[in-house]
Amino acid sequence: MLKTPIGRFRAVALLEGLSFVLLLFIAMPLKYLAGMPLGVKLVGWAHGMLFVLYLLFLAEAAAAHRWSLVRIVGAFLASLVPFGTFVLDARLRREEQAPSEPAAS
């Protein structure tokens, strides 16, 4: 999975999405409902680093596969929506597994 630009992007996208979900649904409620801010500090830091990596690997995959601007913007927006990177990963996995169209003769 980590040998291709898409594979690296998918791996980082999954980690970034997981960190976003942990931040929103575990760390932030602990901070605001239980007065435990350390989770937001730690998970927020990790999420920020993963978001930067997400953008770098998005740029690498987009350049390697000549993605359109619409696709690049869609992948960026997926990182801003909870569970968006998981939906994007499923779509990218389906595209990888789809048989390529036969060449026209």
Domain ranges of the chain: 5-93
Contact predicate 61/5, CB 8 Å: yes
- The span from the CA of 99 to the CA of 105, in Å, is 18
Please tell me the predicted confidence (pLDDT) of residue 101.
Answer: 59
pLDDT, average across residues 60-84: 96
| Residue 83 backbone class (left: φ over 0; alpha: ψ -120 to 50; beta: rest) | left
Length of the chain, please? Answer: 105
Local confidence band at 67 (pLDDT 50, 70, 90 cut-offs): very high
pLDDT in tens, 80-101: 999 999 999 999 999 888 766 5
* Sequence-ordered list of residues with C-beta below 8 angstroms from that of 53, at least 6 positions apart, any chain: 12, 16
Question: In percent, how much of the chain has pLDDT > 90?
Answer: 86
